[in-house]
Structure 1
Amino acid sequence: MHDQATVLRKMASRQNVKPAGLRIISVTSGKGGVGKTNFTVNLALSLVDFGYRVIILDGDLGLANIDIACGITPHFTLEHLLSGEKTIEEILITGPKGLGILPGGSGVQDLANIERANLENVIRNLGRLEGMADILMIDTGAGLGHTVMNFLKASDDVILLTTPEPTAVTDAYGILKALRSDDKEVLVNVVINRVHREADAKATFERLEKAVNKFLHGSVNLLGWVYEDPLVGKAIMNQEPLGVTYPDSSAYRCIQWIAGSVSGLYLQPPRKAGGIRGFLTRLLRPF
């Protein structure tokens, strides 16, 4: 694994690079229980450390828990914005290190089915995120739900989290298969979580990559891996992110390394960021 010095060199290499528009990155997993929400929060915090302004949209409709991971309590959610009761500024919460959090609630599903009468208000409110952040990260629900797949296809970049467990890898492949179902190329960046050795991470990725190459005639990119670390569980119990409670832990150092690679998306992006308007256009296309 790259060491801390490598991360710092990557930080230095992008200090003067400014993102061209708000970039939307969805983090997903084929199954629950692989550590997706904690990874999302800590990746966001690492990117904040790198100098980016980051906002997380809690997009897990059934188990919205970004706020729990950060030890904060939301009073309003995306549902209040879609109904016109609140503005984007009123529902946005400031978390650790200035990280922005947009609680989703049932409004996440409603976002993919916006009534045209409310569309102008939603675009106007969400459009203000362009001036508030460089990156909008979406912590999607696990699995192949309709709302999850629409978020993934509408995002600029997708990060797929899995573990070496066979069921997790199988379900991750299911996500990739669903993304290829409409013959639209979506570049997916894979992170292997909870590994004991570098060799385990690489072997897991190779199994997934071979299946994608053989059966889907596509490709995936290994973004990095995160070591199994007992401090992750302690941070969860404390309801504080790992990057705040144990910033020197092995797991968080791995995530910092991955954040360095995510920063590289601005240096050589696979596709230009579409911003909020582009995201909503792609999200609403099926309707």
Structure 2
Amino acid sequence: MNDQASTLRSMVSQRDAGTHNNMRVIAVGSGKGGVGKTSFVVNLAIALSELNYRVIVLDGDLGLANVDVVFGMTAKYSIRHLLSGEKRIEDILCPVKRGIKVLPGASGMFELANLDRGQLKNVLVNLGRLEKMADVLLIDTGAGLGHTVLNFLCASDEVIVITTPEPPAMADAYGLLKSLKGQQEQLNLKIVINRIHHESEAEICFEKLEHAAKKFLGLRVNLLGWIYDDPLMGKSIMEQYPLGLANPESLAYKYIQWIAGNVTGMDQRPPSSSGGIRKLIFSILKN
């Protein structure tokens, strides 16, 4: 099977990864847990690194941090050490895979999930020191609508809201959009539909969100892409090894590579969802 990212790589093969003028800050939110947000962030980081982008992932779920775990790593230091003044931000950066670095949260630290504005400002000021170290800062925000989550989302250049077709997930995605509207008028909002079974399902879900956001909130949202349901994603999570590394030819990762291309402005057609024998294997594994 052709590598979905091969065309994109050829378009950027001559580009020096350090030539971006400013680090782009992209925050990913969901409104609820269980929609695959962290796995999406981790694999998007891998796909962007394949395109020669230098990526830092901030685990913005500060009280239930798990980005490093998804990468199969255990961080020695965390945001807690930054806030206490024990470590500099450069000291807590955790190298993972493909040149990607993670700024870990601190699992189980309730107080970190409820930072006051002064503490959050301290984190954001420190993040400014990473400007020359990365092209993209991906923030994996926590679930829910807490003020730390909303502050991270509103402070970002771009916001990706990820949801699934299930009605509760869609309702929570709309709730997140509504909360963001109340915080800030101008937002660059993108939607990703995860765990779909056919393209029309993604289109219907997006149309519903788009209509509700425009009619009731006066918000404009754009469809960034969709990801097919893939049993290999669940397998990679259980094994604590990202899908983009364990099974880079998998159906879900092909679509994450496509989304990475959309993030970088390389407008591409969606990859084919027909997988021949792979599709047959996926169907068997689902049962």
1:240-279 aligned within 5 A: 240-264=241-265
Q: Following the alignment from structure 2 to structure 1, what is the Cα–Cα distance between the partners of residues 67 and 265?
A: 25
Deviation digits for residues 201-228 of structure 1, max 9, x if unmatched? Answer: 1111011111111111221000000000
Deviation digits for residues 20-66 of structure 1, max 9, x if unmatched? Answer: 21111101101110000000000001000100000101011332110
Q: What's the TM-score once normalised by structure 2's chain length?
A: 0.84
Q: Match for residue 278 of structure 2? A: none
| Structure with more helix by fraction | 1
1:51 paired to 2:52: yes
CA RMSD across the alignment: 2.3
Over the matched positions of the two proteins, sequence identity in percent amounts to: 53
* CA 1:98–1:115: 2 relative to 1, 3 Å: closer
1:194 paired to 2:172: no
Q: Match for residue 31 of structure 2? A: 30
1:22-101 aligned within 5 A: 22-101=23-102
Identify the structure with bigger relative contact order (alpha carbons < 8 Å, sequence gap 6+). 1
Unaligned runs of 5+ in 2: 267-287
* CA 1:50–1:163: 2 relative to 1, 3 Å: same
Q: Match for residue 186 of structure 2? A: 185
| 3-state SS of 2:177 partner | helix
Q: Following the alignment from structure 1 to structure 2, what is the Cα–Cα distance between the partners of residues 44 and 52?
A: 9
Count residues in correspondence. 260
| 3-state SS of 2:219 partner | coil
Q: Following the alignment from structure 2 to structure 1, what is the Cα–Cα distance between the partners of residues 51 and 116?
A: 30
Unaligned runs of 5+ in 1: 266-287
* CA 1:221–1:7: 2 relative to 1, 3 Å: farther
Contact residue 69 and residue 239 of structure 1 kept, 8 A: yes
| 3-state SS of 1:38 partner | helix
Contact residue 58 and residue 103 of structure 2 kept, 8 A: yes
Q: Following the alignment from structure 2 to structure 1, what is the Cα–Cα distance between the partners of residues 74 and 150?
A: 28
Deviation digits for residues 45-101 of structure 1, max 9, x if unmatched? Answer: 100010000010101133211011011111111111122111222211110112100
Q: Match for residue 9 of structure 1? A: 7
* CA 1:4–1:216: 2 relative to 1, 3 Å: farther
| 3-state SS of 1:191 partner | strand
Q: Following the alignment from structure 1 to structure 2, what is the Cα–Cα distance between the partners of residues 52 and 59?
A: 21
Deviation digits for residues 88-130 of structure 1, max 9, x if unmatched? Answer: 22211110112100112255644743298xx5x973x433311
Contact residue 4 and residue 257 of structure 1 kept, 8 A: no
Q: Following the alignment from structure 1 to structure 2, what is the Cα–Cα distance between the partners of residues 134 and 127?
A: 12
Q: What's the TM-score once normalised by structure 1's chain length?
A: 0.84
Q: Match for residue 281 of structure 1? A: none
Contact residue 93 and residue 101 of structure 2 kept, 8 A: yes
Structure 1 residue ranges (4+ consecutive) displaced by more than 4 angstroms after TM superposition: 3-7, 106-109
